[in-house]
Amino acid sequence: MNNENLRHSQLYRLLLALAMVIVAAALRIAPHPWNFTPVGAMALFSGAVIKDRRLAIFFPLLALFAGDLFVGFYKLGLMLLVYASFLISVLIGFPLRKRRTLFRIAGTTMLGSTQFFLITNFAAWWLLNSYPKTAAGLAACYLAGLPFFGNTLAGDALYAALLFGGFALVERFVPIFREPAHAAIQ
């Protein structure tokens, strides 16, 4: 593949990935069960597929912010920790850049969901006045969050399958979207 075709392929791959992130972000504002959203999968996918690290980090956070314009903002400290958690999911996706397998995607999806649960429930315990600031209060907060963790994990798993699977299908059947063998090693 010559340099011109390589640049076109990389541009088309980036545009496809960004379009998929936008669709996932738009689904966040559609009615859904609590925590059953594509945001975690979108962050993981962005980290795994968008080669420019700045765009991989910035775009999902921008999409999250745009969604918050519709669903509403909440306590600033809590919001910052939620955004930090999604940033961590982008970083968790970076190792998938070299090799995306079903096992690796499933493992990183579970890791992303788990860190989101741990960080956001700790933040809710720490920043909101819903639980006593004791070990028992923290435990109660985590226990109360378990049903939401199930929804988070299910949503992340479903949307990761759709995002990564959809991208893989396009790569396989539309030649311009295939990553050249030498570019995949970079």
pTM of the full structure: 0.87
Query: DSSP string of 52-121?
Result: SHHHHHHHHHHHHHHHHHHH----HHHHHHHHHHHHHHHHHHGGGGT---HHHHHHHHHHHHHHHHHHHH
**Average pLDDT estimate for 54-62:** 91
Please say whether the beta carbons of 122 and 140 come within 8 A.
Answer: no
Q: What tokens does 54 get?
A: 């700045």
What CATH fold (topology level) applies to the domain 3-184? Answer: Arp2/3 complex 21 kDa subunit ARPC3 (1.10.1760)
Boundaries of every domain in the chain: 3-184
> Rg (Cα) of the chain, in Å, rounded?
18
CA gap 3, 103 in Å, rounded: 33
Instruction: State residue 27's pLDDT score.
Output: 83
Please say whether the beta carbons of 42 and 163 come within 8 A.
Answer: yes
Helices and strands (DSSP H and E) totals, the chain: 7, 0
pLDDT in tens, 91-126: 999 999 999 999 999 999 999 999 999 999 999 999
Q: What tokens does 155 get?
A: 């949503």
> Is 167 a residue whose pLDDT tops 80?
yes
Please say whether the beta carbons of 38 and 22 come within 8 A.
Answer: no
